[in-house]
Structure 1
Amino acid sequence: MTDAQTLAFEYLRRSDKKLSPAQYLLELRKLEAEFNELLQIDDLEQKLKDDSIRTWKALSS
């Protein structure tokens, strides 16, 4: 299971929504896509921070 799948599953597991099996699967896929997008943005932000730190260290040496 990917991180996005785990987050989507846990979100729905804790949700108070009463969903049919079909609705549950649709909601799971939708949430999975949203969490995947958020995780990619977070990963990109971290890479940019790391690159900035490396550049700053290289310039200050």
Structure 2
Amino acid sequence: MELPYCYAEPGTYGYEVEDYGETVTALTDVVFYARHPELNGRKIRPGETALVEEWKAIARMFPPSLC
């Protein structure tokens, strides 16, 4: 029986996920800013509630855990 990849020996896949939360944040940012190039990577302002909700919706597309 093969173990899930999250239990593989370090280095097996050539990369390591050290903090899944940071990874999800980075991936969410990539998707969000690809959808909104007009923002030029600037942070979402508190009053931009539609953008905040869109960012959160993108983040929810990722599983809560790798395992």
User: For the superposition of Structure 1 and Structure 2, which TM-score range results when normalised by the shorter chain?
Assistant: 0.3 to 0.5
Provide the TM-score with structure 1 as the length reference: 0.37
Bigger radius of gyration among the two? 1
